[in-house]
Amino acid sequence: MPRSTEFSHIIARKPSKSVTSGLRAHDGTDPDAALFASQHEAYLEAIRQSGVEVLVLPALEEFPDSVFVEDAAICIQGAAIVTNPGASTRAGEGLAIKPTLDTEFDQVFTLPAEATLDGGDVLLTDTDAFIGLSERTNEAGYSELSNILSQFGYSGRRVNTPKSILHFKSDCGLLDSNTIFATPALAATGAFEGYKILATPEGESAAANIICINGTVFISEGFPQSQKLLTQAGYKVVSLNTSEAAKVDGGLSCMSLRFSQ
Ligand code: CIR
């Protein structure tokens, strides 16, 4: 079973009402908290339908961005790594999720304080851990995480994420063990050598943050060309409305930690 796209469990966290003041790179409309909550429910239900057990943690009002649980930890089979999210308002999210990880995993590692890293900057394939340096993820984050993951058979691949991209995975997602859906901007870095790339169609860069779970590729609604491209390439595609997450720079991958037990 490919460990990069087959999962038995996810951990998610309900969006807080304070999500309306979530971080965003450009000023814009606040998300509607009630609509966010219903879109989040639909997201969890769709993932349940793909045969996954869903653990939903309570909302944390003190952390407006804590629904984006992917940034606070990296989860693999048998082990989890608590991160230090790189934005100051998110720094405590790792500590907040640690008790859950201690219950769910045999081994839990914690990155040292000087190593900042958002899980959104990490793309795991079966063999590689792509780690994008960004405003949130520093050199120490890269080296500490790749050292830990090397114990589990992953090769760390350091990527300089282009400045215009918030998180590495804002611009890419794994379609299967060897194929990455990526924006032309990220693909142009040459980071994905050895992998097949499908590029997001023109004007649809925001579609790149897909997740593949047990044979279903989840994509955000509103990207017809991408949906057509992936369907024609033979993938089973399900689209989900992520309009409210998008208002605070979030997408599909950010709202779950996916792993197998
Ligand atoms: C942030 O800026 O941290 C949040 N508003 C969005 C985080 C999205 N997470 C992700 O792409 N992994």
Active-site choice (75, 167, 172, 212): 167
Which DSSP helix (H) or strand (E) runs through 43? helix 33-49
The verdict on whether 167 is a catalytic residue reads: yes
The backbone torsions φ and ψ at residue 152, rounded to the nearest 5 degrees and listed phi first, read -110, 15
pLDDT for 130 equals 98
pLDDT for 42 equals 98
pLDDT for 39 equals 98
Domain boundaries along the sequence of the chain:
9-168+242-259
Cβ(144) – ligand 1 distance below 6 Å: no
Q: How far apart are CA 69 and CA 234, in angstroms?
A: 30
Pocket test for ligand 1, best of 29, 117, 118 (most atoms within 8 A of CB): 118
pLDDT for 89 equals 98
Does domain 9-168+242-259 bear CATH number 3.75.10.10? yes
Residue minimizing CA distance to atom 2 of ligand 1: 23
pLDDT for 1 equals 75
Write out the E strands in the chain.
9-13, 53-57, 73-76, 79-82, 107-110, 122-124, 128-133, 155-160, 172-176, 179-182, 196-199, 211-213, 216-220, 236-240, 257-259
Cβ(255) – ligand 1 distance below 6 Å: no
pLDDT for 198 equals 98
Tens-digit pLDDT string for the chain (261 aa): 799 999 999 999 999 999 999 999 999 999 999 999 999 999 999 999 999 999 999 999 999 999 999 999 999 999 999 999 999 999 999 999 999 999 999 999 999 999 999 999 999 999 999 999 999 999 999 999 999 999 999 999 999 999 989 999 999 999 999 999 999 999 999 999 999 999 999 999 999 999 999 999 999 999 999 999 999 999 999 999 999 999 999 999 999 999 999
Give the number of the atom of ligand 1 that is nearest the alpha carbon of residue 250.
8
Pocket test for ligand 1, best of 29, 60, 166, 171 (most atoms within 8 A of CB): 166
pTM here is 0.97
Residue minimizing CA distance to atom 1 of ligand 1: 23
> By three-state DSSP, how is residue 194 classified?
coil
The verdict on whether 26 is a catalytic residue reads: no
